[in-house]
Structure 1
């Protein structure tokens, strides 16, 4: 049986679907409940207020370093004292420590002291001007610092949650669609050769295919393997990272490892994308499907049946 080529799209088709995808993203984005943000804001307003008051306007941060850093919400508040805020991964490298309670308490709290020193080096002088000026803050300065810092944290937390939820939702969407097309989900596995892949008509999730991990791996009825990446982009800049610098790079690696007769690297995408970036990724061997049009996936799956 001759292998059916995966769908390929013209620039006009990409433009039409990109516009539809962006409209759906905007609709979902504006429909997010304000209450989620406000809950996060209030949680961290209280934490930042406690942090400033409990350390006498940040002057006693080092003295209370260990007790503060072992508390998750305080550790977050401390990371956001710097500008730009410092991620936990970066902080561990910069302070040469881990952020586990055991490590922070070890060596008389030397690791915790290094964490605070790192934060103070990047302290935002616009939000906390009194620290560098060695004086007490005014009531207004203190209130502005608390509100602005809580707003920064709440915004970042919402953005992270949105990305994770969108990706998870998209993976579930594709999973449900495959099951609806009579594909059978099987356990996760490491696939070093095509013999390790699921059987035709089966798929698995979050598995390593060759040297790279895929969100889903589908075995087509003609024997080829379709590794699928689920990508959600909230901006044109973000789309390059997720589509061209990630999914398309994986596609080239999979084709190099398994060949075009063995692999059909695919991305199911949603959100905001530029046409020329979509075209470039497709030219790199990536099959592109849209979350709002999974029927295109269904048609291809059906075409691979003998």
Structure 2
């Protein structure tokens, strides 16, 4: 049983439907998530400035830096830079562990961390540090609010991505359970012998040399590794589908055998029709989170061989 290949008009219709759902979800997204996240980070920056002396960043001591990390304010400290320095980058740039206990024991490491932040400091948000003067009340308020907004935007964006993917994976798993499939423990799948049994699926694991979100064993014995892809723009969809899922499809077909594997991507969000046409040509089968029934129809047909 060959997997479905959709016409250009089929793909266009599903792309339009998916974009409409994306708009609806974003416009209905509760602002409370933003507000709560913003309030939490605003409080962190106030604590960083008022309790730990970060308003006068150049005068901070190694002990003060250590206490910043002990109070779980390391992220706030990193966001004083412009642009913010990632945790991994700060470790490399400062040649230091960011574990609070390590920083407390090593004054030189604390000093290197502080020096790195000072060197990368955002002069637009903290002009008084550059000018070697005291900040005005207005500058302090602006620094707190803009810093809180900066980190909140990043956190909410990450939350959206993770929540979207988790929601989609959960939806696919619930659908599979609903049509009688059983979830089994995750495992490394080097060959078909390692895969779940017919009528079973598992969570993310290594399939061949690449990870799959949900490996599913079809009724005819073939393995259907499912990739859950959520995209918020047509540009992003190239990365999600063409540069990731379609590449994996080719690798799985080579490693496990063209007739033994059916690579699938379940999509939601914003996608470009042309990119999806190209993905299909790379032997990636496409289904949509808003219409999993079509995936169910294909799975049922594999009973017939």
The normalised TM-score by structure 2 is 0.94
Structure 1: any 5+ residue segments left out of the alignment?
A: none
Specify the alignment match of 1:241 in structure 2: 239
Pick one of 227, 230, 235 that aligns with 1:229: 227
Instruction: Give the distance between the partners of 2:23 and 2:109, measured in 1 at CA.
Output: 44
The alignment status of 1:127 with 2:125, answered yes or no, reads: yes
Give the match for residue 71 of structure 1.
71
CA–CA distance in structure 1, aligned partners of residues 243 and 29 of structure 2? 29
Tell me the distance in 1 between the aligned counterparts of 2:150 and 2:107: 28
Question: What does 1:71-150 align with in structure 2 at a 5 Å threshold?
Answer: 71-72=71-72, 74-106=73-105, 108-150=106-148
**Distance across 2 between alignment mates of 1:58 and 1:48:** 13
Cα separation, 2, equivalents of 1:225 and 1:56: 55
CA drift of 1:68 comes to: 0.4
Instruction: State the Cα distance separating 1:41 from its structure 2 match.
Output: 0.8
Deviations 1:90-119 (A, max 9, x none): 22222223322232223x233232222222
Change (3 A) 1:41 1:224: same
Q: Deviations over 1:158-179 (max 9, x none)?
A: 1111111111111110000001
Q: Which residue of 1 aligns with 2:16?
A: 19
2:53 is matched with 55
Q: 1:172 to 1:55 in 2, by over 3 A?
A: same
Deviation, 1:56, is: 5.5
Counterpart pick for 1:45 among 38, 42, 47: 42
For 1:5 and 1:277, how far apart are their aligned partners in 2?
A: 21
Corresponding pairs, count: 301
Deviation, 1:62, is 4.3
Q: How far apart are 1:237 and its partner, in Å? A: 2.3
CA distance in 2, matches of 1:218, 1:283: 22
SS in 2 for 1:136: coil
| TM-score, normalisation: structure 1 | 0.94
Q: Aligned partners of 1:55 and 1:238: how far apart in 2?
A: 41
Contact 1:51 1:58 in 2 (8 A): no
Corresponding residue number in structure 1 for 2:28: 31
Structure 2 equivalent of residue 294 of structure 1: 292
Structure 2 residues not aligned, in runs of 5+: none
* More moved, 49-58 vs 139-148: 49-58
Q: Distance in 2 between matches of 1:265 and 1:58?
A: 56
Q: Residues 245 and 97 (structure 1 numbering): CA distance in 2 closer, same or farther, change over 3 Å? A: farther
RMSD: 1.4
Paired with 1:121 and 1:10, the residues of 2 have a C-alpha distance of 55
